[in-house]
Amino acid sequence: MTRLLIVGPQGSGKGTQGVRIADAFGVPAISTGDVFRAAVADGSDLGSQVKAIIEAGDLVSDELTSAVVRDRLSQADAAGGFLLDGYPRNLTQVMHLEEFLEGRGEELDAVIELSVPRDESIARLTLRAQEQGRTDDTEAVIANRLAIYERETAPILGVYGARGIVVQIDGVGSLDEITARIVAALDARGVKRTAAA
Protein backbone atom coordinates (compact mmCIF):
# COMPACT_ATOMS: atom_id res chain seq x y z
CA MET A 1 0.00 0.00 0.00
CA THR A 2 1.31 3.40 -0.97
CA ARG A 3 -0.54 6.39 0.43
CA LEU A 4 0.83 9.78 -0.48
CA LEU A 5 -0.10 13.45 -0.43
CA ILE A 6 1.54 16.17 -2.49
CA VAL A 7 1.35 19.70 -1.07
CA GLY A 8 2.64 22.95 -2.49
CA PRO A 9 1.52 26.44 -3.49
CA GLN A 10 -0.16 27.17 -6.80
CA GLY A 11 2.53 27.35 -9.44
CA SER A 12 4.73 24.81 -7.67
CA GLY A 13 4.10 22.19 -10.36
CA LYS A 14 2.50 19.76 -7.94
CA GLY A 15 -0.18 18.62 -10.43
CA THR A 16 2.44 17.57 -12.98
CA GLN A 17 4.72 15.96 -10.41
CA GLY A 18 1.76 14.29 -8.70
CA VAL A 19 0.87 12.40 -11.89
CA ARG A 20 4.51 11.39 -12.49
CA ILE A 21 5.00 10.16 -8.92
CA ALA A 22 1.69 8.30 -8.89
CA ASP A 23 2.75 6.52 -12.11
CA ALA A 24 6.15 5.67 -10.67
CA PHE A 25 4.62 4.19 -7.51
CA GLY A 26 1.71 2.42 -9.22
CA VAL A 27 -1.18 4.31 -7.64
CA PRO A 28 -3.87 6.65 -9.04
CA ALA A 29 -3.25 10.42 -8.84
CA ILE A 30 -6.42 11.94 -7.40
CA SER A 31 -6.71 15.70 -7.84
CA THR A 32 -9.78 17.22 -6.20
CA GLY A 33 -9.65 20.10 -8.70
CA ASP A 34 -9.76 17.60 -11.59
CA VAL A 35 -12.57 15.59 -9.95
CA PHE A 36 -14.66 18.77 -9.58
CA ARG A 37 -13.91 19.99 -13.10
CA ALA A 38 -14.81 16.58 -14.57
CA ALA A 39 -18.08 16.59 -12.61
CA VAL A 40 -18.93 20.04 -14.00
CA ALA A 41 -18.09 18.91 -17.55
CA ASP A 42 -20.28 15.79 -17.15
CA GLY A 43 -23.19 17.80 -15.75
CA SER A 44 -23.51 15.29 -12.88
CA ASP A 45 -25.33 16.11 -9.62
CA LEU A 46 -21.99 16.89 -8.00
CA GLY A 47 -21.13 19.09 -10.99
CA SER A 48 -24.29 21.14 -10.61
CA GLN A 49 -23.58 21.57 -6.89
CA VAL A 50 -20.05 22.89 -7.43
CA LYS A 51 -20.19 24.67 -10.80
CA ALA A 52 -20.93 28.17 -9.53
CA ILE A 53 -18.49 27.83 -6.64
CA ILE A 54 -15.59 26.77 -8.82
CA GLU A 55 -16.31 29.35 -11.50
CA ALA A 56 -16.29 32.09 -8.86
CA GLY A 57 -12.90 30.83 -7.66
CA ASP A 58 -14.33 29.98 -4.24
CA LEU A 59 -13.69 26.80 -2.28
CA VAL A 60 -16.12 23.91 -2.13
CA SER A 61 -17.25 23.19 1.46
CA ASP A 62 -15.02 20.94 3.55
CA GLU A 63 -17.91 18.50 4.09
CA LEU A 64 -18.69 18.06 0.41
CA THR A 65 -15.02 17.90 -0.59
CA SER A 66 -14.28 15.28 2.06
CA ALA A 67 -17.32 13.23 1.04
CA VAL A 68 -16.16 13.28 -2.58
CA VAL A 69 -12.65 12.18 -1.56
CA ARG A 70 -13.96 9.35 0.65
CA ASP A 71 -16.06 8.14 -2.25
CA ARG A 72 -13.10 8.31 -4.63
CA LEU A 73 -10.75 6.52 -2.22
CA SER A 74 -13.31 3.73 -1.86
CA GLN A 75 -13.14 2.86 -5.58
CA ALA A 76 -11.32 -0.28 -6.66
CA ASP A 77 -8.35 1.41 -8.30
CA ALA A 78 -7.40 3.06 -5.00
CA ALA A 79 -7.37 -0.26 -3.11
CA GLY A 80 -3.57 -0.43 -3.37
CA GLY A 81 -3.02 3.18 -2.42
CA PHE A 82 -3.30 6.68 -3.85
CA LEU A 83 -1.65 10.03 -4.30
CA LEU A 84 -3.86 12.97 -3.32
CA ASP A 85 -3.30 16.40 -4.88
CA GLY A 86 -5.27 19.44 -3.69
CA TYR A 87 -6.61 17.70 -0.58
CA PRO A 88 -6.49 18.14 2.38
CA ARG A 89 -6.37 21.88 1.92
CA ASN A 90 -6.86 22.96 5.53
CA LEU A 91 -6.85 21.53 9.05
CA THR A 92 -10.53 20.56 8.99
CA GLN A 93 -9.95 18.46 5.89
CA VAL A 94 -6.92 16.86 7.60
CA MET A 95 -9.24 15.81 10.43
CA HIS A 96 -11.78 14.38 7.97
CA LEU A 97 -9.11 12.43 6.11
CA GLU A 98 -7.59 11.08 9.31
CA GLU A 99 -10.98 9.89 10.56
CA PHE A 100 -11.60 8.10 7.29
CA LEU A 101 -8.18 6.43 7.14
CA GLU A 102 -8.26 5.45 10.82
CA GLY A 103 -11.64 3.85 10.25
CA ARG A 104 -9.98 1.64 7.65
CA GLY A 105 -6.92 0.99 9.81
CA GLU A 106 -4.73 2.90 7.37
CA GLU A 107 -2.24 5.75 7.55
CA LEU A 108 -0.31 7.96 5.17
CA ASP A 109 3.21 6.90 4.20
CA ALA A 110 4.57 10.28 3.18
CA VAL A 111 3.59 13.88 2.50
CA ILE A 112 5.57 15.47 -0.31
CA GLU A 113 6.10 19.18 0.28
CA LEU A 114 7.08 20.89 -2.95
CA SER A 115 8.76 24.19 -2.07
CA VAL A 116 9.05 27.05 -4.49
CA PRO A 117 10.05 30.60 -3.50
CA ARG A 118 7.16 33.03 -3.56
CA ASP A 119 8.68 35.15 -6.36
CA GLU A 120 9.10 32.07 -8.52
CA SER A 121 5.46 30.99 -7.96
CA ILE A 122 4.26 34.47 -8.86
CA ALA A 123 6.43 34.55 -11.99
CA ARG A 124 5.17 31.12 -13.14
CA LEU A 125 1.51 31.96 -12.46
CA THR A 126 1.77 35.36 -14.16
CA LEU A 127 3.32 33.75 -17.24
CA ARG A 128 0.60 31.06 -17.30
CA ALA A 129 -2.11 33.74 -17.02
CA GLN A 130 -0.58 35.66 -19.96
CA GLU A 131 -0.27 32.52 -22.08
CA GLN A 132 -3.88 31.59 -21.38
CA GLY A 133 -5.11 35.15 -21.84
CA ARG A 134 -6.47 35.24 -18.29
CA THR A 135 -6.31 38.96 -17.75
CA ASP A 136 -8.28 38.64 -14.50
CA ASP A 137 -5.30 36.77 -13.02
CA THR A 138 -3.40 39.87 -12.01
CA GLU A 139 -0.42 39.87 -9.71
CA ALA A 140 -2.68 40.99 -6.85
CA VAL A 141 -5.09 38.07 -7.38
CA ILE A 142 -2.18 35.64 -7.54
CA ALA A 143 -0.57 37.10 -4.41
CA ASN A 144 -3.89 36.72 -2.61
CA ARG A 145 -4.12 33.03 -3.53
CA LEU A 146 -0.61 32.44 -2.25
CA ALA A 147 -1.47 34.23 1.00
CA ILE A 148 -4.46 31.89 1.43
CA TYR A 149 -2.13 28.93 0.88
CA GLU A 150 0.21 30.20 3.58
CA ARG A 151 -2.63 30.81 6.00
CA GLU A 152 -4.83 27.76 5.42
CA THR A 153 -2.81 25.02 3.77
CA ALA A 154 0.77 25.41 5.03
CA PRO A 155 -0.34 24.60 8.62
CA ILE A 156 -1.24 21.05 7.58
CA LEU A 157 2.49 20.48 7.13
CA GLY A 158 2.93 21.13 10.84
CA VAL A 159 0.58 18.26 11.67
CA TYR A 160 2.27 15.80 9.35
CA GLY A 161 5.73 17.15 10.20
CA ALA A 162 5.12 16.33 13.87
CA ARG A 163 4.45 12.77 12.71
CA GLY A 164 7.75 12.71 10.84
CA ILE A 165 6.28 11.93 7.42
CA VAL A 166 6.95 15.16 5.51
CA VAL A 167 9.47 14.92 2.68
CA GLN A 168 10.68 18.39 1.67
CA ILE A 169 11.55 18.80 -1.98
CA ASP A 170 13.10 21.79 -3.72
CA GLY A 171 10.65 22.57 -6.53
CA VAL A 172 13.06 24.67 -8.61
CA GLY A 173 14.66 22.83 -11.53
CA SER A 174 13.61 20.90 -14.64
CA LEU A 175 10.52 18.65 -14.45
CA ASP A 176 12.72 15.54 -14.73
CA GLU A 177 15.12 16.72 -12.02
CA ILE A 178 12.28 17.36 -9.61
CA THR A 179 10.64 13.99 -10.32
CA ALA A 180 14.00 12.28 -9.68
CA ARG A 181 14.39 14.17 -6.39
CA ILE A 182 10.96 13.08 -5.18
CA VAL A 183 11.44 9.44 -6.22
CA ALA A 184 14.85 9.34 -4.50
CA ALA A 185 13.44 10.87 -1.30
CA LEU A 186 10.52 8.41 -1.19
CA ASP A 187 12.81 5.46 -1.91
CA ALA A 188 15.12 6.63 0.89
CA ARG A 189 12.14 6.52 3.25
CA GLY A 190 11.31 2.98 2.12
CA VAL A 191 8.00 3.92 0.47
CA LYS A 192 6.90 0.86 -1.51
CA ARG A 193 5.77 0.68 -5.09
CA THR A 194 2.32 -0.87 -5.40
CA ALA A 195 2.22 -3.79 -7.86
CA ALA A 196 -0.20 -3.21 -10.73
CA ALA A 197 -3.57 -4.81 -9.97
The catalytic residue positions are 14, 89, 128, 134, 145
| Torsion angle in degrees (nearest 10) through CA of 166, 114, 62, 109 | -30
Cβ distance to ligand ADP smaller for residue 58 or 99: 58
Q: Which residues pair with 31 in a beta bridge?
A: 85
Contacting ligand ADP (CB under 6 A), which of 16, 23, 33, 102? 33
Count of residues touching ligand ADP (by CB under 6 A):
15
Contacting ligand ADP (CB under 6 A), which of 41, 59, 79, 127? 59
* Ordered DSSP codes for 69-86: HHHHHTSGGGTTEEEEES
Give the binding range for ligand ADP (CB under 6 A) out of 28-36, 75-83, 127-135, 179-187: 28-36
Per CB under 6 A, 10 contacts ligand ADP: yes
* Ordered DSSP codes for 121-145: HHHHHHHHHHHTT-TT--HHHHHHH
Per CB under 6 A, 25 contacts ligand ADP: no
Cβ distance to ligand ADP smaller for residue 37 or 192: 37
* Ordered DSSP codes for 31-57: EHHHHHHHHHHHT-HHHHHHHHHHHTT
Binding site for ligand ADP (CB under 6 A): 10, 32-33, 36, 53-54, 57-60, 65, 86-87, 89, 93
